[in-house]
Structure 1
Amino acid sequence: MSEQSKSPTSSSSPWVTVGLTVFTFLFVLLLSALVIRFLVPRIDVERAKRSEQALIGNVIQVEVLNGGGIEGAANAVTSSLRQLGFDVVEIGNFDVFDVEQTVVLARNGGDVKSAERVARGLGLSADRILIEESADYYLDVTVLVGRDYESLNLERR
């Protein structure tokens, strides 16, 4: 009689118990992955598939150099450019501090359109844009801040 009172799993091999445990674990894992898949937004792979040329112009990488020797000038211009949506990746001092007028240098292959957008953001005319082409530049534009930086159109929010 005691043989009939045993449950079916108690008389079966331990492999059945291990198999059921593994199956339950995998089922819960799969169900969790499915729930997460629908709750977490996907990464836009289309942007990664676009050509490099299509991405140029969306983000303009800018270097800001203080050429006028006025303390805080490069930081003020950097802050303004960032508020306008430009990606300022480098800030520093120019080799000399005798630059009178602020100029915008088109760097990466002479990308004048990007330089024009930066100049327009600072309130500079097109005659303040210089082209300095070199394959070695990874930046699109360099802003060489002169002593006239207080006359620039700096966004202050």
Structure 2
Amino acid sequence: MAAASTTAFACTMAAARLVGDRVVARFGPVRTVRAGGVLASAGGLLIVAAGHPALALGGFGLLGLGIAVVVPLAFAAAGRSGPAPGQAIAGVATLTYTSGLIAPSAIGGIAQATSLTMSFVLVTALACGLVPGARVLRVPRRAASGSSPRAVAGGRERP
């Protein structure tokens, strides 16, 4: 069941990443991540409350589907940020790769200290944080409209 859970998570994440650009283009990064947060949270709740392994598998699938585009959108937002986007991208990379290494051990450690259910309660709570946290992915109007980076004053571009 552990292998099937990982497979469900990875397959839905891969499928969502394949169509993620189209979804983000249609709904925007904030709405996409908020909807993903709802899906991931529902998946986490299903994992926690599942009375049958098939339900838990569905929960892992929803979790993967929900968080699939978060990291790519975080990298994109970092690339648009401030005067040193390279530093921002490096910061996002450090956080995402470090958390990817630490998360499985942390989930296992929490499960060892309490229960596997409690560890997924924490995962679910973190997934819920995607809904309000998505606002940081808002694309500035200038970047969204494709206009030049020069300032606009009184409806006219300024050099």
Same fold per TM (> 0.5)? no
TM-score, normalised with respect to structure 2: 0.24
| Structure ranking higher in helix proportion | 2
Q: Say which structure, 1 or 2, has more relative contact order (CA 8 Å, 6+ apart).
A: 2
| Structure ranking higher in strand proportion | 1
